[in-house]
Structure 1
């Protein structure tokens, strides 16, 4: 089994439950891993998972505001699987950098894992 990683992709977006989040926006950091089986030597792109396509799916989803990070994670995973049917597992972590929480330092986020 092989796993392709995209780590610490950064996006500015307007996701959030509270009205102020949809107005002011925030920075997000996303990491995704996708696992698949391939027998034999991998010698060309068609035998692996194209991380450029996965990055494009993530970027597209970050352009449309969503109230909950859980919903966003599920949408991204569904689109990645539809684009790359050979994938047998996807893990995604989405973190909101500097969330608008009084007297809070750090990040908040979700991790979603799905096996197929």
Structure 2
């Protein structure tokens, strides 16, 4: 029986210009991104980054995708997953969670969250 490894990036904060409404794309908003990956850990006796999922690379993927405004957070999450799968083919499962903090719909204090799960 093998070992399963989870590598996660939690609550990475970005300011970006995603949103369906034009004012969201002009004013921007703060977002938090969490990414969770799962893969089989076959290289127990190595400390080589090539045998793991580098969380610094996860951050860079999120940063790059967040810099390209989209109308829907579902699209943003899907682009993050696509790039993650391309860079880390050993990943068996990945989750992306995007939280828009204080979305502009008049609430006193609220967050909006989109999650996307991919399984190989």
Scaled to the shorter chain, the TM-score interval is over 0.9
TM-score (norm 2): 0.92
Q: Calculate the aligned-residue CA RMSD, in Å.
A: 1.1
Note closer, same or farther for the CA distance 1:88–1:101 as it changes in structure 2 (3 Å cut): same
2:25 equivalent among 5, 19, 22 = 22
1:46 equivalent among 45, 50, 59 = 50
1:7 equivalent among 10, 35, 39 = 10
2:70 match: secondary structure: coil
State the 1:115 CA deviation: 0.3
1: CA distance, partners of 2:27 / 2:43: 49
State the 1:104 CA deviation: 4.1
Q: Unmatched 5+ residue regions in structure 2?
A: none
1:75 match: secondary structure: helix
Question: How many equivalent residue pairs?
Answer: 116
Q: Is the 8 A contact 1:70 1:112 kept in 2?
A: yes
State the 1:51 CA deviation: 1.1
Q: Unmatched 5+ residue regions in structure 1?
A: none
Establish whether residue 74 from structure 1 lines up as the match of residue 75 from structure 2: no
Establish whether residue 60 from structure 1 lines up as the match of residue 64 from structure 2: yes
